[in-house]
Structure 1
Amino acid sequence: MKVLITGANGLLGQYAVKQLADAGHCVMATGRGGCRLPRNGISFGYTDLDITGKEGVLSYVTTVRPDVIIHAAAMAQPDACELSKEACYDTNVNATRYFTDAAEAVNAKMIYISTDFIFSGNDGPYRETDDPMPVNYYGETKLAGEQIVRQSRINWAIARTVLVYGNILSGTRSNIVTWVKENLEKGNPIKVVSDQIRTPTYVEDLARGIQLIIEKNATGVYHISGREILTPYEMAVQVADYFGLSKALMEKVDASVFTQPAQRPLKTGFIIDKAERELGYSPLSFMQGIRKMFP
């Protein structure tokens, strides 16, 4: 199957390219700027594409004519979204509309990658059927993207995920595991939130979940995350324990300690029964994910 992956230079994108290419799919990757994906014998095509250009997106998609578009590209830093709303809207909403229209033009399936931040965080963990109520602009734009996909006439699926972690590849940002490990190894004291809950997601599990959606031709909304409900502080404790690092450097705090432009939902995380039942999705535990990152 011919699969187009947007945002391929990001953490998920890099793993999804490898996962799907290894599974025998013909993979085409797009990103901003040059290709930062490690080749390592993986066969894929790469194109530098401005996803906020309507004509460029349509021209590219109608030229390569994919069977499936995995739209993973997004402006995903909540604070940056809050401070640069126009750029956030252009990237998260307009670009989603352009790819949805292009998918319709070539009769491609669209898999839209979304987030737990579409929810309020008042009563998580959440099921696919729970009502969204974002508390920041990032969540608002991702929900708007979902609505564009849902209202289209294409074959679509939405894969929502939570706090993705994994080995940092070229050019990708740090995540909860690498941030804790690097700071504690350097002897830096860190403040870690204990009043938020999440179901952290190992990046290879997320890539596998997307593969299952493709290969089972599944449609609708799926929550693809880890199974364990943990606070960031509990995650940090597991990281410190695994590497034998000092937990004395970790200060347990609540979210009110941090002054950030974007509000964070307190209690999200996902109930993943539907993905387990319909897709055969089976994620690693958080500790298993750490072990796979650093065997």
Structure 2
Amino acid sequence: MKILVTGSNGLVGSYVVKQLLEEGHQVFASSRTPDLSAFSEHPGYRFVQLDFTDPYMLDAVFEAIKPEVVVHSGAMSKPDDCEQNQSEAYTINTAGTLQLLLNAADYKSFFIFLSTDFIFNGKQGMHREDDPADPISYYGCTKLEAEEAVKTYAYEWAIVRTVFVYGKPLYGRDCFITMIAKKLRNHEAYAVTDDQERTPTYAPDLAKGIAAIIEKKATGVFHLCGKEICSPFQMAMETADFLGIRSHQLKPVHTADLPALAQRPLKSGLDISKAQQQLDYAPLSLREGVRRTLEGTAGV
């Protein structure tokens, strides 16, 4: 199957590309930045440098590929950056998705959109797919508007909401766990919030869930994340425990005490019951995810 993946140089996109290649698909990985991957020798892999906010580039790419499936994982995903640069956030997260939908419709592509727990206000937590959205940050607003556009798509579509993705970087910048590991090893002081309830997502689990959606042609909204509720500070302590570091300078703090432009939902966990039932989604435990993220890194 011919599959176009946006954001392929990011943590989520890179694992989606890896998973789909392993399952024998023809994968067209795309990113605004040059190819960073180690997949260039794989017979099913092609890289396309693409700015999906540029309609002319998109027209040319879609005409050349004629994708059967589009996995749209590209986004401006840092909430503070979105709050500070709202025009850019709207262009990338909302308008860019709209443009992709227009091109995908020409080829009746199955459209899979990566969304976020930040479309919820975080007052109750463990949200189900049909819970009402109420974003409290501009990032959440742009992703919700994109979701609403996807739901009007005339052909098959799926929306995948996920939470706080981590995993061993295939290339590019650290994830939260590897960043914390470096600070622990260097005995650096660092404040980590302890009052946000999340259901952190191991990136390979997320990629497997997306592959299952493609295989089953499952449509609608799905929550794909971890099954355990914990705070970022608890994730940091799980990292310290794995590394065997007892003495550190990590400090638990409340979200309100951290300098941030964008509000964060305090209870943003997602219920994965639907994905477990319909996709056979079975995420790893946080402890196992942390182990697989850190094994083989410096000092382990």
Task: Give the TM bin, normalised by the shorter chain.
Answer: over 0.9
The answer as to whether partners of 2:101 and 2:150 remain within 8 angstroms in 1 is yes
1:229 aligns with 2:256: no
3-state SS of 2:178 partner = helix
Question: Which residue of structure 2 aligns with residue 192 of structure 1?
Answer: 192
3-state SS of 1:152 partner = coil
Tell me which moved more, 206-215 or 183-192: 183-192
Within 5 Å, which residues of 2 pair with 1:96-135?
96-135=97-136
Aligned AA for 2:226? G
The answer as to whether partners of 1:9 and 1:37 remain within 8 angstroms in 2 is yes
1:243 aligns with 2:246: no
In structure 2, relative to structure 1, the CA distance for the partners of 1:24 and 1:186 (3 Å cut) is same
Question: Which residue of structure 1 aligns with residue 218 of structure 2?
Answer: 218
RMSD: 1.1
Deviation at 1:249, TM superposition (A): 1.5
Question: Which residue of structure 1 aligns with residue 298 of structure 2?
Answer: none
Deviation at 1:58, TM superposition (A): 2.4
* Separation of aligned partners in 1, 2:143 and 2:114: 9
The answer as to whether partners of 2:178 and 2:294 remain within 8 angstroms in 1 is no
Aligned AA for 1:114? S
* Separation of aligned partners in 2, 1:85 and 1:252: 30
In structure 2, relative to structure 1, the CA distance for the partners of 1:147 and 1:77 (3 Å cut) is same
1:64 aligns with 2:65: yes
1:7 aligns with 2:7: yes
Deviation at 1:42, TM superposition (A): 2.9
Question: Which residue of structure 2 aligns with residue 170 of structure 1?
Answer: 171
1:92 aligns with 2:93: yes
* Separation of aligned partners in 2, 1:67 and 1:247: 52
Question: Which residue of structure 2 aligns with residue 207 of structure 1?
Answer: 207
Question: Which residue of structure 2 aligns with residue 149 of structure 1?
Answer: 150
Deviation at 1:246, TM superposition (A): 3.0
The answer as to whether partners of 1:127 and 1:223 remain within 8 angstroms in 2 is yes
3-state SS of 1:15 partner = helix
* Separation of aligned partners in 1, 2:144 and 2:247: 37
Runs of 4+ in 1 over 6 A off after TM superposition: none
Deviation at 1:176, TM superposition (A): 2.0
Cα deviation 1:44-98 (Å, max 9, x = unaligned): 1001111111222123112210100000000001111111111111100111011
Gaps of 5+ in 2: 296-300
The answer as to whether partners of 1:197 and 1:269 remain within 8 angstroms in 2 is yes
Deviation at 1:154, TM superposition (A): 1.7
Deviation at 1:293, TM superposition (A): 1.9
Aligned AA for 1:125? M
Q: What is the TM-score when the length of structure 2 is the normalising length?
A: 0.95
* Number of residue pairs aligned between Structure 1 and Structure 2: 294
Identity of aligned residues (%): 40
* Separation of aligned partners in 1, 2:39 and 2:223: 30
* Separation of aligned partners in 2, 1:263 and 1:174: 23
Aligned AA for 2:156? N
Tell me which moved more, 34-43 or 226-235: 34-43
The answer as to whether partners of 1:184 and 1:246 remain within 8 angstroms in 2 is no
3-state SS of 2:27 partner = strand
The answer as to whether partners of 2:119 and 2:140 remain within 8 angstroms in 1 is yes
Deviation at 1:149, TM superposition (A): 0.5
Aligned AA for 1:214? I
* Separation of aligned partners in 2, 1:103 and 1:155: 10
Q: What is the TM-score when the length of structure 1 is the normalising length?
A: 0.97
Aligned AA for 2:101? T
Deviation at 1:247, TM superposition (A): 4.8
3-state SS of 1:287 partner = helix
The answer as to whether partners of 2:184 and 2:248 remain within 8 angstroms in 1 is no
